Amino acid sequence: MYYAGWSSEPLHGRILSATSSDGLNWTKDAKPSVVFGGRWDQVKCSEPCIMRLPDGCYRMFYEANDEHGVWRILSATTPA
E-only strand ranges, 1-80: 2-8, 11-19, 27-28, 44-52, 58-65, 71-77
Domain ranges of the chain: 2-77
Give the model's pLDDT for residue 46. 92
In the chain, % of residues over pLDDT 70: 100
Which of 55, 43, 45, 54 lies closest to 75, judged by CA? 45
Q: Which residue has the higher pLDDT, 22 or 34?
A: 22
Indicate whether 8 pLDDT > 90.
no
Give the predicted TM-score (pTM) of the model.
Answer: 0.81
Average pLDDT value for residue range 4-31: 92
The pLDDT of residue 36: 85
Predicted pLDDT of residue 79: 84
